[in-house]
Structure 1
Amino acid sequence: MTVTTALNVDELLTGAATKTGLTDFGDDWFREPLDVLVTSLNTEASLSPTGFQLTRHRLTALLADRLRLRALQREHPEVLDVEVRVAAEICGLPRTGSTLLHRLLAASPQLTSTLSWEVAYPVPFPGEGPDAAERKRRAQERMRVFAQLSPDFGDLHTVVWDGPEEDVLLLDRTFVSMSYDSFYRVPSYGDWLRTADQTPAYRELREWLQVLQWQQEGRTQPWVLKSPHHLTAVDTVLDAFPGCKIVMTHRSPVRAVPSYASMVRTMSSQYSEDVDPLWIGPYWSRRFATTLQVFADARQARPDRFVDVRFADTVAKPLVVAHDVLGELGLPPSRADDQAFAAYLRQNRAERHGSHSYSPADFGLAEDRLKRDFAFYTEVYL
């Protein structure tokens, strides 16, 4: 069953203003991606009644955060002077070991990373103290609700409310984010995303990182960030963060693409009762093939800005990989790093959930076809 009520951009903007008592969204460049997204959601996503309510609430909350960001910058202009240094953006196809590598590196005392509760609630609530108690409470409650809506998600991707999380969730507030075509069937939005100039979105990502640093005195370490979204804007990432290196995680697309299709099926089932796995597989296979071709061009132009990590190595010898990557980032590993890495690996073993089973055919994919379609990539990097 699909809803007949449509999302309306003006109503979303009004709802955010009413929620916050604020009206200044700043530069209205974000209206184009928001308009494209809402049109695609209304015409393609087959939202269920629950999915419609969740989506309207989510978009309103993201717009409210835009209002709060501008208000914070007006009240505390010193935020805009905070120096942001990004050491690395970890990216690669989803399901390639990037999460393990990110959380391992984020444990290093030489680096900092976005945390799950921070990307959910990046701006302090009125009257909230520096301990961010209310935001942390809401983040825990939000995670509990999410687990109820997607009980199988923990088998695919372990989420900890106070652990490292993808910075793409900050980009969600720009409405320029791969999150949307991962959670919804919105192919026209996906087409728009992969041709859009993402420079304004990454300018705002820097602003969000400034806000997070400003809130925590002494948080001056360079950032280690992570999301497969960044593969859609590699040149923009490198331009936006001059000292940043792309840490590219590699795994056979024959394994990675069906695994991500399984994850998308689980996530999108929260929002629609009309989820077609035979559509999901080919959609993401085409998306990722195109993305990797563009990545190859960007890498050829600036090869010194890239570090390669293979999935098999991350799984088999994570400490060696972490050492190697720190060295590539100009951060020689120390005894404190080794202790932090060992502690995280113990935690990871304790948090790990069960496995999930699937086959490429479940998602309209065939191994032989995947091998052919991604041969240009596997012959170079695997």
Structure 2
Amino acid sequence: MTETNAALRVDELLAAARDKAGLHEFGDEWFLEPLGVLVAALNDEARLSELGVELTRRRLTALLVDRLRLRALQREHPEILDVEPAVTAVICGLPRTGSTLLHRLLASSPRLTATLSWETSYPIPFPGEGPDAPERKRRARDRMRAFLELSPDFGDIHTVQWDGPEEEVILLDRTFTSMSFDSFYWVPGYGDWLRSADQSRAYGELRQWLQVLQWQDPSRANRHWVLKSPHHLTAVGTVLDAFDDCRIVMTHRSPVRAVPSYASMVHTMSAQYSDACDPAAIGRYWSDRFATGLREFTAVRARRPDRFVDVRFESMLSQPVAEARRVLGELGLPVDDADVRAFESYVDRDRRQRRASHSYAPEDFGLSREQLERDFAFYQEVLP
């Protein structure tokens, strides 16, 4: 692959999406601002390869197609807007802090539900598709296989399951207001914009996507949603406002381990799109990014302390079932035998499926233990 200067253009992406979908109504076009910021950063900063440009053009077009299809589905089935998703927990924290394990563990409870990987990729039924969604599931399997071929080491970093619980931030990608983009691409200008953006409209649309998924699966009406993504750290106050009855479940791990681990993950992902990835620049960017995010998180938490539940990484590893039981209780859902059986079954399955350990060091990404300890000292002091 070679680096290219081929430009992405918003007007061409919009036209391509309309042509592909056979639809024209995007509804409220507030999303054009984040899309414009993202496209400018991709053109100016990302140093995309020829393959990277083509993959990105397809990805952005597909996200715009889903926006068109969402509006069409809402017009055809206005009852979707009456669906009430009950979001009970929003798991967040630095990446690589045990949040994925906790998310999938809680989602195994018969009383909880989460977005599934294939749903986040293909949230809207194809024409003529029944509730079993065979075409969407087939495409999701193929898509994951292609992704792992491009990044064969990714499965050692993050266990992937095409039909298992996955971060709903992938639904937020369709608002172009998402941490996914500066994780997959070198776009620090976009990341700076995201940190200062009002994300209330993006979270309003996330709620609409949950409505669509719950409408397709009425059994979810009797279950509580558990969400999860480190992206939520960029908008903690907005999350609490968007989902009135939720609590933030914060996973904690020393940034000395968490930050280099995520830098390694980002480097693996961004190498799909660019041949010019700089590990040291990635390390510095995410170290600064997370330090800023945690300071803002601490300020929000101080104003609304009753909305938070804490989980330590070490506890998740040593006693995952006990931690899941404790968290469920703090969410106001007393644990029963069915929950315990589900938790134990998931832990057993997870241990069998785990792959090789993930190896990295701060120095691999232009960082050092001393620097991370210094920059995150404020956070270490408030750890529960």
Structure 1, unaligned runs of 5 or more: none
User: In structure 2, how many angstroms separate the alpha carbons of the residues matched to 1:134 and 1:347?
Assistant: 27
Report the alpha carbon displacement of residue 349 of structure 1 after superposing the two structures with TM.
Answer: 1.1
Counterpart residue number, 2:312: 310
> Which secondary structure does the structure 2 equivalent of 1:194 belong to?
helix
One-letter amino acid matched to 2:265: M
Counterpart residue number, 1:66: 67
With structure 2 as the length reference, what TM-score do the two structures score? Answer: 0.99
- Deviations, residues 202-224 of structure 1 (Å, cap 9, x unaligned): 00000000000000122111100
One-letter amino acid matched to 2:336: S
One-letter amino acid matched to 2:313: F
Equivalence map 1:1-382=2 (5 Å): 1-220=2-221, 221-381=223-383
Report the alpha carbon displacement of residue 346 of structure 1 after superposing the two structures with TM.
Answer: 1.4
> Which secondary structure does the structure 1 equivalent of 2:310 belong to?
strand
User: In structure 2, how many angstroms separate the alpha carbons of the residues matched to 1:252 and 1:184?
Assistant: 25
Report the alpha carbon displacement of residue 343 of structure 1 after superposing the two structures with TM.
Answer: 1.0
User: In structure 1, how many angstroms separate the alpha carbons of the residues matched to 2:218 and 2:292?
Assistant: 42
User: In structure 1, how many angstroms separate the alpha carbons of the residues matched to 2:202 and 2:266?
Assistant: 24
User: In structure 1, how many angstroms separate the alpha carbons of the residues matched to 2:159 and 2:294?
Assistant: 26
One-letter amino acid matched to 2:284: P
Contact 2:157–2:358, Cα closer than 8 Å, also in 1: yes
- Deviations, residues 77-134 of structure 1 (Å, cap 9, x unaligned): 0000001110011000000000000000000011000000000000001111111010
User: In structure 2, how many angstroms separate the alpha carbons of the residues matched to 1:33 and 1:3?
Assistant: 23
> Which secondary structure does the structure 2 equivalent of 1:355 belong to?
coil
Structure 1 vs Structure 2: percent identity of aligned residues?
A: 69
The count of aligned residue pairs is 382
> Which secondary structure does the structure 1 equivalent of 2:112 belong to?
coil
One-letter amino acid matched to 2:344: A
Extract structure 1 runs of 4+ deviating beyond 6 A.
none
User: In structure 2, how many angstroms separate the alpha carbons of the residues matched to 1:214 and 1:67?
Assistant: 18
Report the alpha carbon displacement of residue 355 of structure 1 after superposing the two structures with TM.
Answer: 1.1
Report the alpha carbon displacement of residue 5 of structure 1 after superposing the two structures with TM.
Answer: 1.4
With structure 1 as the length reference, what TM-score do the two structures score? Answer: 0.99
User: In structure 2, how many angstroms separate the alpha carbons of the residues matched to 1:286 and 1:218?
Assistant: 42
Contact 2:5–2:43, Cα closer than 8 Å, also in 1: no
Structure 2, unaligned runs of 5 or more: none
Report the alpha carbon displacement of residue 357 of structure 1 after superposing the two structures with TM.
Answer: 1.5
User: In structure 1, how many angstroms separate the alpha carbons of the residues matched to 2:130 and 2:257?
Assistant: 46
Contact 2:309–2:330, Cα closer than 8 Å, also in 1: yes
